């Protein structure tokens, strides 16, 4: 597990999906991933419905947009 401020390497495993049940508070398998810049959330990292994460390109686009906006500041 990484702590705040630590860098991650390309292709580094960041987490593991839990089995549905106690490990996930009864929710479907999920992984929380968020990006912060200071106190600001750049990418929320969790959606409550499966439909909102079926198109992973949306997440990729969110990351790229967040990075682009950060570089302008």
Residue 72, H or E segment: helix 56-72
Domains of the chain, by residue range, sit at 32-72
State the Cα angle at 70 between 65 and 72, rounded to 5°.
100
The CA-atom distances, in angstroms, between 14 and each of 32, 35, 70 are: 10, 13, 22
Task: Give the pLDDT confidence of 8-59 residue by residue, as tens digits.
Answer: 888 888 777 666 566 666 666 666 666 667 777 666 666 666 665 565 556 6
pLDDT at 7: 83
Whole-prediction pTM value? 0.33
Q: 56, 31 in Cβ contact below 8 A?
A: no
pLDDT at 20: 59
């Amino acid at each position: 597990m990484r702590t705040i401020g630590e860098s991650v390497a390309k292709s580094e495993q960041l987490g593991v999906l839990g089995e549905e049940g106690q490990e996930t508070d009864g929710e479907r398998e999920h992984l929380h991933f968020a990006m912060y810049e200071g106190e600001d959330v750049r990418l929320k990292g969790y959606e409550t419905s499966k439909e909102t994460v079926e198109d992973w390109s949306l997440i990729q686009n969110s990351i790229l947009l967040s990075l682009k906006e950060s570089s302008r500041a």
